[in-house]
Chain A
């Protein structure tokens, strides 16, 4: 026992170390997220969080489920590789802007005046095909985005100077956007009144 006769202070010190280590383990248990280290030095559940982001573009497969007639027509023309939403825009659910963070004063006010409930998600055509009608793109703007002549564009790509080419008329006066070749007459637009809903 003589070895430990004057070692009491060392044991107390060692005890402190053990205690601190136990506290560290307990704190670590609560602070480190459960999935941390599942795949590497990061939170494994983060992938699920990121994958939960709502999609806005429905994808051309979704469109073609109902609009197979348009898909067939498009497949025969030069726009076969242009997906629906490239021109028509995103057609899936669009979520409202997230609620702004309230400061202390606004939180105090909210105790007495209940804030308005957040807007419901704005449904788009792919979510609610019967009641939501997508906005028809304006061909005089839409087509020019790709087909306006510029020395910078690849030489083989069909380009026109819109002012010279159509004299300001919308493109769908002559071209049918789903099959733009001139051998395919724009039947559906020709029947409509000039300068109509298009």
Chain B
């Protein structure tokens, strides 16, 4: 096949364009999710929580969480009448009053409480997806980070498994995955929220005690809720910018 100069001049750029398309591979699926449009958090409505453990089981199913580790768990607090009346009393043992239990993370619920004195309440816990999270600041390799939509994530291909972040988290929300040997934690079901679904724990919660909130969405009911309720975060003195918001949180919760 003989090519003259004119044909060559046309063919070469065409081939270059074709080769570029080959290198690029198949075009990515167009996603209508824009990270900068969201700022995710979660609302936990403590008076609604009944301690059934549905969220813990759902999280384990959804995210293949190994037995004995938890991305979310539920604690049951029992504050005695004495402690409620004398919250500043330093003579009560802080390890037993309030009494905090979480058998297997509350996965199978809680034993029936028969002592009717004092006050009981359940506190579901999970990664607080802090805006200024201590865990991302200590990572030596940049394997954990706050995504532009406010979710704290772990890049498991990049993580060394040094467990520095596990120590740094003030809420104890991280663990080293026993098989992958890398840090693992709640992703706020990133694979679901980026597709318009809610998290597995919110989907499974029978009482609506957990609600995924998008603080950047002006239509989200969270804004009305924040105006009318006393909402707090865990360990506010640590200035982590936690985005798991607790309604009616008792002062004894640590």
Starting from the known contacts A42-B158, A53-B187, 20 additional A-B residue pairs (CB-CB under 8 Å) come to A46-B145, A46-B158, A47-B147, A47-B153, A50-B153, A51-B190, A52-B191, A55-B62, A55-B189, A55-B191, A55-B197, A59-B197, A60-B203, A81-B206, A83-B206, A90-B200, A146-B50, A150-B110, A151-B120, A157-B207
Interface residues of B in 103-158 (CB under 8 A from A): 109-110, 112-116, 120-122, 142-148, 153, 155-158
The distance from the CB of A41 to the nearest CB of chain B, in whole angstroms, is: 4
B249 within 8 Å of A (CB atoms): no
A39 within 8 Å of B (CB atoms): yes
Q: If A42-B158, A49-B157 touch, does A57 touch B200 (CB 8 Å cutoff)?
A: yes
Report which residue of B58, B148, B203 has the largest number of chain A beta carbons within 10 angstroms of its beta carbon.
B203
B208 within 8 Å of A (CB atoms): yes
The distance from the CB of B79 to the nearest CB of chain A, in whole angstroms, is: 11
CA distance in complex: A47, B145 (Å): 10
Q: Is the CB of A152 within 8 A of B191?
A: no
Q: If A90-B58, A153-B50, A154-B48 touch, does A59 touch B203 (CB 8 Å cutoff)?
A: yes
- Residues in B with CB closer than 8 Å to A52 are 191
Q: If A152-B51, A152-B76 touch, does A57 touch B204 (CB 8 Å cutoff)?
A: yes
A interface vs B, CB < 8 Å?
33, 36, 39-43, 46-47, 49-57, 59-60, 79, 81-83, 85-87, 89-90, 145-146, 148-154, 157
Q: Is the CB of A55 within 8 A of B192?
A: yes
Q: Is the CB of A149 within 8 A of B194?
A: no
Interface residues of B in 75-93 (CB under 8 A from A): 76, 78
Q: Is the CB of A148 within 8 A of B112?
A: yes
- Residues in A with CB closer than 8 Å to B62 are 55-57, 90
- Residues in A with CB closer than 8 Å to B110 are 150, 152
Name the residue of chain B whose CB is nearest to the CB of A53.
Answer: B191
Q: Is the CB of A86 within 8 A of B113?
A: no
- Residues in A with CB closer than 8 Å to B157 are 43, 46, 49
CA distance in complex: A66, B207 (Å): 24
Q: Is the CB of B50 within 8 A of A154?
A: yes
Q: If A50-B153, A55-B191 touch, does A86 touch B204 (CB 8 Å cutoff)?
A: yes
CA distance in complex: A50, B186 (Å): 11
Name the residue of chain B whose CB is nearest to the CB of A157.
Answer: B50
CA distance in complex: A149, B112 (Å): 7
Q: If A42-B145, A51-B194, A56-B200 touch, does A86 touch B76 (CB 8 Å cutoff)?
A: no
Report which residue of A40, A60, A148, A151 has the largest number of chain B beta carbons within 10 angstroms of its beta carbon.
A151
Name the residue of chain A whose CB is nearest to the CB of B145.
Answer: A42
Q: Is the CB of B61 within 8 A of A90?
A: yes
CA distance in complex: A36, B148 (Å): 14
- Residues in B with CB closer than 8 Å to A157 are 50, 207
Interface residues of B in 33-70 (CB under 8 A from A): 35, 47-54, 58, 61-63
- Residues in B with CB closer than 8 Å to A89 are 61
B167 within 8 Å of A (CB atoms): no
CA distance in complex: A149, B109 (Å): 12
The distance from the CB of A134 to the nearest CB of chain B, in whole angstroms, is: 14
